[in-house]
Amino acid sequence: MTTRQPSAGALPEGARDEQSAAHSVRQMFNSIAPRYDLLNHLLSANVDRLWWWRAARTFRAVLARPDALIVDLCCGTGDMTMALLRRRPAESKPILAADFAHEMLRRGSAKFSQRGAFAIEADALHLPLRDASADLITTAFGFRNLANYAQGLREFARVLRPGGQLGILDFSEPEGLPGKAYQWYFRHVVPAIGKLVYGQSGPYEYLPESVRRFPAPHQLVAQIEASGFVNVQWTPYTLGIAGLYTATRSNDPIADFPQSTDTGKFEPGSLA
């Protein structure tokens, strides 16, 4: 098992603190939004579609409940949201799809706004949702970009009902020979393709660095367990290139967790 010092949160180049890290991440994703889908599918050879499908299938029981409140955080251009919607019955409560990068969310909203989801421009660390209001929170390839992982997990625990489910789909670094091949591809090929398609390599140099700094699966499992969750598991996808963390909100009183200063109802904003 690889020993790794876990990172407290995303730290793009030039960021000095959590505030500047969050600003850099938002700015970066707004800038790459126009070609984000193209590069995602190209760099993963469309395997990312299978990952979203598998993650959504894991939560098919709660998704099948029409009254369940589903929240997809860091939804980006909406691919995970769409995978969740495909397992929702007709006339179900809308899925709430949130992201703090306006341009990403605008493109996501174009996909899902007529299919049963509301777009909310919101920071995953400060959600405009009531305590114990959600039945399922998912985030696909977005948790790694939070400026503070512990704060994010506490916020998820605050918003989830006791017994509610959490799903975090994100990259990891495989070990052994597959890991070496993966690291070479991520650190050399990905930035080159990113520069060719997008015009600059910066955002796609951040990607492998963010994965390198991200806690190893056993470390993140321990962090999730320490944040008010039980039954925490990690399921590797595609030789461990990615994986799904699943957990259940414990029955501990909500008072045990930090409270949000915004507990009002959300208001879907204009994404024009």
In angstroms, rounded to a whole number, what is the distance separating the alpha carbons of residues 117 and 94?
A: 5
Domain ranges in the chain are: 18-173+215-250
pLDDT tens digit string along 36-61?
888 877 778 789 999 999 999 999 99
This prediction's pTM? 0.90
For 136, the token pair is 């399922």
Average pLDDT for residues 185-213, to the nearest whole number? 80
Query: Residue 260 pLDDT > 80, yes or no?
Result: no
For 117, the token pair is 């989801």
pLDDT tens digit string along 2-30?
455 567 999 888 888 999 999 999 999 99
Q: Count the residues in the chain.
A: 272
Q: First and final CA of the chain: distance in angstroms? A: 48
Q: 18-173+215-250 has which CATH code?
A: 3.40.50.150
Instruction: Decide: 166 and 249 in contact? Cβ < 8 Å.
Output: yes
DSSP letter for 100, please. Answer: S
Q: What is the CA radius of gyration of the chain?
A: 18
pLDDT of residue 256: 59
pLDDT of residue 263: 39
pLDDT of residue 38: 82
Structural element, H or E, at residue 99: strand 95-99
Provide the CA 80 distance to its chain's centre, in angstroms.
9
pLDDT tens digit string along 200-234?
667 778 888 898 899 999 999 999 999 999 999 99
